């Protein structure tokens, strides 16, 4: 059955096609052990898989992959290369979750090189699940985490160019276009999300970001929010989100994807069901926005689905082979 795909100009009605029936999961694909969002997910997966080969857990895998993205100065949506907020400050968000339901997160963290590792430390070394702002920074320094000067000269130059008009305009799929180009274009979203299965079959996930470029001071999106930007359930699988975080939060997106898998949907159908739910809820208000989900279940099956074309993700199997996939989308180009 060919699914109807409305254009971005279409105002969505209340009725939606069956998500499960519309799934196009490729059963012949080898089981995956790690997935991550966007084209820079390939190098993140390489670091995660190397960690697995050395005996690292799924938690070690996603942390290693997240750190690779955070350390890349050409990545303008994650870590040290991230674009600043409208006040010229780079603020970083991250979360991490393991197979036992242990969680940790940081929000609006400044001048610390690896927020994903700080999030893990919050999980493992404190009685809390989230630290924010100056408190998160003080904790990171107390734990001897590495500092880094932010913004980079390139990101600061982009911010100064933005100040000329201060026009806050969305740009779909910025993660890939900005990563390949010279920093400086407008942007509205962010994130690398990672999911992994360890050699012991246990699962973990992480998400790390510098947030919306030129956002309001203090803004936090979905990325460090367990259940929105990331969710892992070792009985079922995990999911992560990317795109406009405000819309992901509205539907508790990653948790909703995992619950759809719990009730029998394969990963792609589960991702599609939540995108359709968001489209019914927000209708024409999301016509020019990008939101996408990526899911990995306990069988190693993978699926992704997006509002708009252009969302890509990296899939690595137990042999270490990595392929790039382009997710189907609800809207046409």
Environment class of 129 (CB within 10 Å of its CB; exposed 0-12, middle 13-18, buried 19+): middle
Number of helices and strands in the chain (H, E): 9, 12
Quick one: which of 132, 113, 122 has its CA closest to 68?
Answer: 113
Rounded to an integer, what distance in angstroms lies between the CA atom of residue 204 and that of residue 97? 6
Dihedral sign for Cα 243, 247, 251, 255, please.
Answer: positive
Q: What is the 3-state secondary structure (H, E, C) of 57-95?
A: CHHHHHHHHHHHHHCCCCCCCCHHHCCCCCCCCCCEEEE
Catalytic residue flag (residue 147): no
Question: How is residue 85 written in tokens?
Answer: 């907020």
Catalytic residue among 191, 208, 240, 242: 191
Q: Are 91 and 109 in contact (CB under 8 A)?
A: yes
List 190's β-bridge partners, or say none. Answer: 243
Rounded to an integer, what distance in angstroms lies between the CA atom of residue 35 and that of residue 41? 8
Residues annotated as catalytic are: 191
């Amino acid at each position: 059955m060919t699914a109807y795909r409305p254009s971005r100009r279409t105002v969505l009605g209340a009725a939606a096609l069956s998500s499960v029936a519309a799934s196009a999961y490729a059963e012949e694909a080898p089981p995956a052990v790690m997935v991550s969002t966007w084209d820079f997910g390939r190098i993140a997966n390489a670091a995660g898989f190397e960690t697995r080969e050395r005996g690292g857990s799924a938690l070690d895998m996603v942390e290693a992959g997240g750190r690779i993205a955070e350390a890349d100065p050409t990545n303008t949506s994650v870590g040290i290369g991230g674009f600043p907020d409208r006040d010229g400050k780079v603020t970083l968000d991250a979360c991490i979750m393991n197979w036992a339901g242990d969680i940790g997160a940081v929000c609006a963290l400044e001048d610390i090189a690896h927020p994903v590792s700080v999030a893990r430390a919050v999980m493992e070394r404190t009685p809390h699940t989230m630290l924010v702002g100056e408190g998160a920074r003080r904790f990171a320094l107390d734990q001897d985490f590495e500092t880094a000067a932010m913004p980079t000269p390139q990101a600061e130059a982009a911010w100064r160019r933005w100040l000329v008009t201060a026009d806050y305009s969305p740009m779909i799929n910025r993660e890939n276009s900005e990563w390949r180009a010279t920093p400086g274009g407008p942007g509205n979203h962010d994130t690398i999300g990672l999911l992994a299965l360890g050699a012991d079959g246990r699962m973990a996930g992480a998400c790390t970001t510098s947030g919306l470029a030129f956002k309001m001071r203090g803004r936090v999106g979905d990325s460090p929010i367990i259940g929105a930007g990331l969710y892992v359930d070792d009985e079922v699988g995990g999911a992560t989100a990317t795109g406009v975080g405000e819309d992901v939060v509205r539907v508790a997106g990653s948790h909703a994807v995992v619950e759809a898998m719990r009730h029998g949907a394969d990963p792609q159908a589960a991702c599609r069901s939540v995108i359709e739910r968001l489209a019914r809820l927000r209708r024409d208000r999301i016509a020019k926005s990008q939101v996408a989900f990526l899911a990995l279940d306990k069988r190693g099956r993978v699926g992704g689905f997006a509002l708009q074309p252009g969302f890509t993700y990296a899939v690595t199997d137990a042999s270490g082979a990595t392929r790039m996939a382009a997710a189907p989308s609800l809207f046409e180009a």
